[in-house]
Amino acid sequence: MREDVVTATAGEMRALGRRLAASLRAGDLLVLSGPLGAGKTTLIQGIGDGLGVRGPITSPTFVIARAHPSLRGGPALVHADAYRLGGVAEIDDLDLDSGVDGSVTAVEWGEGLAEGLSDDRLEISIGITGDTRTVRIRGVGSRWAGAALAPAG
């Protein structure tokens, strides 16, 4: 999977998250990067909505990680924030890899830290230009070879 999507509003970012959720399953890892205020948490809110998990989904900056169980029998969403972590060793201390197989794990600020959790992952980078966001989605590993983002709708 490799796709660039431009969004102009928080609603469009959440809608993109719901589209992504349609392609996700237990064991999937998402590594998100982008500047402060880019919309990483907003995208994950849409993913959580699409997965049907218990909310609300808020930034886990101060608690580092939150688990959101499914309300409809699908995978849980583990939402982590690596912003305040000092390195790969601290990611290991969170023990996120123990829950990766049974949940969708999304790590904000995870670039350069969380890739070791899985050989297969979606790397999602968000750039800001004026009032728009460009969301670059890149699948890594055999899980994402030939996969496509669910159509809008």
C-alpha torsion 133→137→79→42, nearest 10: 20
114 found inside a domain: yes
Reported as a single tens digit per residue, the pLDDT across 106-141 is 988 777 666 777 789 999 999 999 999 999 999 999
The number of domains in the chain is 1
Reported as a single tens digit per residue, the pLDDT across 90-103 is 555 555 554 556 89
59 found inside a domain: yes
Distance spanning both ends of the chain, measured CA to CA: 19
Q: Percent of the chain, pLDDT > 90?
A: 59
Question: What CATH number does the domain containing 100 carry?
Answer: 3.40.50.300
Reported as a single tens digit per residue, the pLDDT across 19-56 is 999 999 999 999 999 999 999 999 999 999 999 999 88
Q: Which domain holds residue 38?
A: 2-143
151 found inside a domain: no
